[in-house]
Amino acid sequence: MQKVQQGFTLIELMIVIAIIGILASVALPAYQGYTIRAQVAEGLALAGEAKAAVADFYADKGSFPGTNTLANYSDDVQGKYTSGVDIGTGGVISIGYGNDANTKIANLTITITPKEQGSGIEWACAYTQTGTDVKPDFLPQACR
C-alpha cells in the first residue's frame, strides 16, 4: 500500500519563501524610489506659483527679484514634505524638504534658476548646474 502525500514538503515551502524574498528585494527599492520622486514632485508643484511670480516681476521690471517680498510671493509656502519655497538673489527659487520627507531627501534643496531666453525665461534645475542637493535619480526628467 502506497502512502499518499498531502500538503507541501519542507523543500517546496522553502523555495516559495526564497522566491518571495527575491521579489520583495526588487520591489521595495523600486517603490521607495517612486515615493521619493512623488515627494520631490510636491515641491516642484508648489514652486510653480513662485516661477509665475518671478516671471511677472521680470516682465514688469526687466530684472529678476531677489526676495519673496519683491516678487509679491508668500513667505509661508509649505507642503506635507516641503519645508519651504523661497525666492533668492537673481530670482533663484529654492525648494527645501523637511523632516517628514524620506530620509534620502530630508533637509535637502532643489534650486531652480531662471535664465533669460529670447523673449521668455528658461528654468534650470539640474543636479550639477544649480547647486541642487537632491540626487539626480530622484529629480524629474526635465532636471536630469
Which runs of consecutive H residues, i.e. helices, occur in the chain? 10-61
pLDDT the model gives residue 91: 94
- Is the Cα dihedral 59, 62, 67, 72 positive or negative? negative
pLDDT the model gives residue 133: 85
All structural domains of the chain, each given as residue ranges with its CATH number in brackets, are 10-143 (3.30.700.10)
Write out residues in the chain with pLDDT < 50, as ranges. Answer: none
The alpha carbon torsion through 58, 59, 60, 61 (nearest 10 deg) reads 40
Q: What is the pTM of this model?
A: 0.81
The cell for 9 is 514538503
